[in-house]
Amino acid sequence: QVQLVESGGGLVQAGGSLRLSCAASGTIFGINDMGWYRQAPGRQRELVATITSSSSTNYADSVKGRCTIDRVNAKNTVYLQMDSLKPEDTAVYYCNAEIQYRPSLWSQYWGRGTQVTVSS
């Protein structure tokens, strides 16, 4: 069974940095796009950043220049480096990945989320 497990969240002051990690485990034949999404209280889940298997990246306008997504394919892991954090970055951050869990079968998977809180 495939699982995504996030880590690295926490409480940080405005202007600080955090590095989130997400590791995929289980029976994995391949991974396409991986990404980070976030959901603040009372708001819909939104995209933060995505990265393809060839490391092409895409960022939400709200985090461009402050966040960097990268991945280590050999470890089935994706990272999100967040700098110059703002109180409005406070949210639960979720990892997402499109994973081949059987030959010719793919599915989207989500982690359980990690809380990021930025104090002013």
Three-class secondary structure of residue 56 per DSSP: coil
Residue 28 structure tokens: 């994995």
First vs last Cα of the chain: how many Å apart? 40
Rounded average pLDDT over 42-55: 97
d(CA 70, CA 66): 14
Task: Give the residue carrying structure tokens 């950043």.
Answer: 49
Rounded average pLDDT over 62-77: 97
Please report which helix (H) or strand (E) contains residue 72, including its range: strand 67-72
* pLDDT digits 0-9 by tens, 91-112: 999 999 999 999 999 999 999 9
pLDDT grade, residue 56 (50/70/90)? Answer: very high
